[in-house]
Structure 1
């Protein structure tokens, strides 16, 4: 990751590149999602991935599969996400019967990012000043 100016950072993940920034009203240029938005999007995309794999195993199409997420920040300190709501849209030509719907609900709760939030990883931050 490298600073690109203002409140913007260029990130490389594997062979992919993206920019994170802050909204204009907080000093950024809004050139990309905020780190918090990226965090929430990571959770939503993980849920969608697990849902897609479930649909494949059930012989159901993935076309139209989607997830929408919104979040709320905590009112008290420290700064953090307090709530995330993900709405999964599973595309089927007919409504899922209760048993497969419950199975889908169980499967998406097992996504890796969700599990990482339920059992947070140990995080260490080293600061190198040159």
Structure 2
């Protein structure tokens, strides 16, 4: 994939610092590949939704994005304070709306901390993890433009 290196945005995005690119390409049916830098992911739909269930859905990746961001921030906190990361886990569940438009209506994340984490560090770890980039973005949504290529 070309153009995956962060670039400075022009004046149309004055608050953003770097432009990151990825590309999504149709494979077959409801399956798509996502190229991010030198990495390739795949998405699909479950059988009951008409897909072939070869990969997570985009919505599951959305939830995974938040969960992995929380885990990353928690892990960095532990590392910064010389605490072990073994046993760190983030469990996530989300609920879908039953009305329109289709959307995630709630998410619950539970951080399983390493057993050696001192009690006095738990609140700080939670505060740090709760301010991960994805969580912040959900609280202050970006401007989103969807357009057709010329």
Q: TM-score, normalised by structure 1?
A: 0.92
Residue number in structure 1 paired with 2:145: 124
Structure of higher RCO (CA pairs closer than 8 Å, 6+ residues apart): 1
Aligned counterparts of 1:101 and 1:115: Cα–Cα separation in 2 = 20
Matched, 1:82 2:100: no
Out of 129, 134, 140, which is 1:113 matched to? 134
* Mapped contact 1:10–1:19 kept (Cα < 8 A): yes
Q: Quote the offset at 1:76 in angstroms.
A: 2.2
The structure 1 segments of at least 4 consecutive aligned residues displaced by more than 6 Å after TM superposition are none
Q: Distance in 1 between matches of 2:86 and 2:92?
A: 19
CA distance in 2: counterparts of 1:92 and 1:5, whole angstroms: 45
Question: 1:60 is matched with which residue?
Answer: 83
TM-score (norm 2): 0.81
Write the distance in 2 (CA, Å) between the matches of 1:96 and 1:36.
35
Residue segments in structure 2 that go unaligned for 5+ positions in a row: 1-23
Aligned residue pairs total 127
Unaligned ranges ≥5, structure 1: none
The alignment yields a C-alpha RMSD, in angstroms, of: 1.2
> Within 5 A, what are the aligned runs for 1:19-98?
19-93=42-116, 96-97=118-119
